[in-house]
Amino acid sequence: MSARPFRARLTFTLTALGLLLSSNAVFAIQFVVEYALPRGATRGTTVEVSFYGKHLAQPQEVVSNRGGIKLLKFDGPSENKDKNLITSEAPQCVTAKLEIAPNCPLGEHQLSLRTSEFLAEPVLFFVGTQPIVNETEQKIGGNDSLEKAERIPLSCTVHGQIHGGSNAIDHDFYAFDLKAGQRLSIELEAARLGTTHMGGENDCALRLYGPDGKVIAVSDDTALFVQDPLITIKAPLDGRYVIEVTQLVGSAATLHTVYRLHVGTFPRPTTVYPLGGTPGEKLAIILQGDGLGPKNAIVALPDIKVTPGPIEVFEYFPEENNQSAPSPLPLRITAHRNILETEPNDTLEQAKSFTIPSALNGVIQKPGDVDLWKFRAEKDQVIDFRVFARTLGTPLDPKIWIRPARPATEDERPLAEVDDATLQERGYFDGNSRWQPRGVLDPALTFRAKESGEYILGIEDTRGLGKTDFIYRIEVDPHTDSMAIHPYVPPGHGYGEPRGVTLQIPQGNRWTTIFRIEEGLGTKLKGEIQFEAIGLPPGVTMVSPKVDAKVREVPIQFIATNDAKPGISWVQILARPVDSQQRIASYCQKAMVFTDRRGGFAWRPTWTDRLPLAVINNAPFHLEMEQPPSGLTRNGELELTVKVVRHGNWNGPLEVKPDWVPAGIEHGGPIEVAPGQTTAKVRLRAKGDAALATWKFCVFGSTLDGIPVEGSGCRLASTPFVDLTVSEPFVSVTFQRASVEKGAKGQITAELKQHRPFTGSAKATLNRLPTGVRLLEPFPQITSNDKTCVFHIEASSDALTGQFKDIQAEISVNEAGQTIRQQSGSGVLRIDAPRGK
Partner 1 sequence: MNSPIPRILRPVLCSVVLLFQTPSVHGAPEPGKPPVSSKQTTSPLWHIWSDGKNSVEAEFLSLDGDFVQVRLRSGATHRLNLTKLQPADRIFAEKAKGFITQTAIPTATGSSSLASSTPAQPTNPTAAASSSTAGSIVPTGEVSFRRDVMPVFFRANCNSGGCHGAAPGKDGFRLSLFGYDAAGDYFRLTQQMLGRRIDLAAPEESLLLLKATGDVTHTGGTLFDKKSAYYQILLKWIEQGAQNDSANVAEVTGIRIEPAKLLFQGPSKRQALKVFASYSDGSSRDITPLALYVTNNKTTADINEDGLVTSGRHGATDVFARFNRFTIGAPVVVLPQEGTFEWPPDAKPTNFIDELVFAKLKHLQIQPSGIASDEQFLRRITLDLTGLPPTEDEIRTFVASIKPDKRERLADILLARPEYADVWAARWGDWLKLLGDTNSGSGTDTKAAVAYHAWLVEQFRNNVPLDRFIHAQVASVGSNFSQPETNFYTMLPAGNYEPKAMAQSVAQLCLGIRIQCAECHNHPFDRWTQDDYYGFVSFFTGVRRKMASEPREYYIFNDNSAPPAKHQLDQRPMPPRLLGGGEPNVQGKDPRNALADWLTSPENTLFATSMANRVWSQFFGIGVVDPIDDLRITNPPSNSELFEELGKRLVAYQFDQKRLIRDIVTSRTYQLSSRVTRSNKDDSRQFSHAPVRRLPSIVALDAISSATEAETHWNHHPDGYRGMQIYDTGRRYGSYFLACFGQSDRETSDATKDNREVTLSQTLHLINGDTIQGKIQQSQVVTKLLTAKTPPEQAVESLYLRSLSRKPSGEELAVFKKLAATPPTRVDYDRLWWALLNSTEFLFQH
How far apart are CB 367 and partner 1 at their closest, in Å? Answer: 9
Q: Which of 338, 428, 443, 446 is CA-nearest to residue 384?
A: 446
Burial class (CB in 10 A: 0-12, 13-18, 19+), 649: exposed
Q: Which is nearer to partner 1, 326 or 395 (CB)?
A: 395
How far apart are CB 253 and partner 1 at their closest, in Å? Answer: 5
Q: Which is nearer to partner 1, 193 or 377 (CB)?
A: 193
Q: Is the peptide bond before 367 cis (omega within 30 degrees of 0)?
A: no
Q: Which of residues 149-178 bind partner 1 (CB under 8 A)?
A: 166-169
Q: Dihedral sign for Cα 358, 395, 371, 281, please.
A: negative
- Going by their DSSP bridges, the two strands 171-178 and 150-151 should be labelled as parallel
User: H or E segment at 286?
Assistant: strand 282-288
- 256 contacts partner 1 (rule: CB under 8 A): no
Q: Are the C-beta atoms of 537 and 615 separated by less than 8 Å? A: yes
User: H or E segment at 818?
Assistant: strand 818-832
First and final CA of the chain: distance in angstroms? 103
- Going by their DSSP bridges, the two strands 773-775 and 745-754 should be labelled as unpaired
Contacts of 167 (CB under 8 A, 6+ apart): none
- 238 contacts partner 1 (rule: CB under 8 A): no
- 438 contacts partner 1 (rule: CB under 8 A): yes
Q: Which is nearer to partner 1, 168 or 180 (CB)?
A: 168
- 646 contacts partner 1 (rule: CB under 8 A): no
Question: What distance in Å separates the CA atoms of residue 608 and residue 590, rounded to the nearest whole number?
Answer: 5
Stretch that binds partner 1, among 50-58, 215-223, 472-480, 724-732 (CB under 8 A): 215-223
Each residue 394-433 as x (binds partner 1 by CB under 8 A) or -, in order, gives ---x---------------------xx-------------
Q: Which of residues 465-524 bind partner 1 (CB under 8 A)?
A: 465
Question: What distance in Å separates the CA atoms of residue 391 and residue 401, rounded to the nearest whole number?
Answer: 19
Question: What distance in Å separates the CA atoms of residue 10 and residue 574, rounded to the nearest whole number?
Answer: 14
What residues does 377 pair with on adjacent strands?
453
How far apart are CB 736 and partner 1 at their closest, in Å? Answer: 46
What residues does 456 pair with on adjacent strands?
374, 403
Stretch that binds partner 1, among 102-110, 451-459, 461-469, 679-687 (CB under 8 A): 461-469
What residues does 387 pair with on adjacent strands?
474
Give the interface size with partner 1 as a residue count (CB under 8 A). Answer: 35
Output the CA–CA distances (angstroms, integers) from residue 52 to 63, 536, 564, in the order listed. 16, 29, 28
Concatenated DSSP letters of 222-256:
BTTTBTS-EEEEE--SSEEEEEEEEEPTTTSTT--
How far apart are CB 126 and partner 1 at their closest, in Å? Answer: 20
Each residue 365-394 as x (binds partner 1 by CB under 8 A) or -, in order, gives -------------------------x----
Output the CA–CA distances (angstroms, integers) from residue 386 to 74, 328, 421, 425, in the order listed. 46, 22, 10, 9
Q: Which of residues 572-631 bind partner 1 (CB under 8 A)?
A: 597-599, 601, 603-604
Among 293, 344, 453, 464, binds partner 1 (CB under 8 A): 464
Q: What does the DSSP 8-state code read for residue 252?
A: S
- Residue 666, classed as helix, strand or coil, is strand
Among 145, 462, 641, 801, binds partner 1 (CB under 8 A): 462
Q: Which is nearer to partner 1, 80 or 595 (CB)?
A: 595
Stretch that binds partner 1, among 218-226, 304-312, 763-771, 796-804 (CB under 8 A): 218-226
- 441 contacts partner 1 (rule: CB under 8 A): yes
How far apart are CB 378 and partner 1 at their closest, in Å? Answer: 29
Phi-psi region of 708 (alpha: psi -120 to 50; beta: other; left: phi over 0): alpha
Among 254, 347, 353, 797, binds partner 1 (CB under 8 A): 254
Q: Which is nearer to partner 1, 434 or 830 (CB)?
A: 434
Q: Which is nearer to partner 1, 535 or 599 (CB)?
A: 599
Q: Which of 722, 717, 723 is CA-nearest to residue 558?
A: 717
Among 26, 81, 139, 250, binds partner 1 (CB under 8 A): 250
Q: Which of residues 67-126 bind partner 1 (CB under 8 A)?
A: none
- 434 contacts partner 1 (rule: CB under 8 A): yes
How far apart are CB 167 and partner 1 at their closest, in Å? Answer: 5
How far apart are CB 293 and partner 1 at their closest, in Å? Answer: 22
Among 20, 223, 364, 616, binds partner 1 (CB under 8 A): 223
Other beta carbons within 10 Å of 366: 12
How far apart are CB 169 and partner 1 at their closest, in Å? Answer: 4
How far apart are CB 85 and partner 1 at their closest, in Å? Answer: 21
Binding site for partner 1 (CB under 8 A): 166-169, 203, 220-221, 223, 226-227, 248-254, 390, 397, 419-420, 434, 436, 438, 441, 462-465, 597-599, 601, 603-604
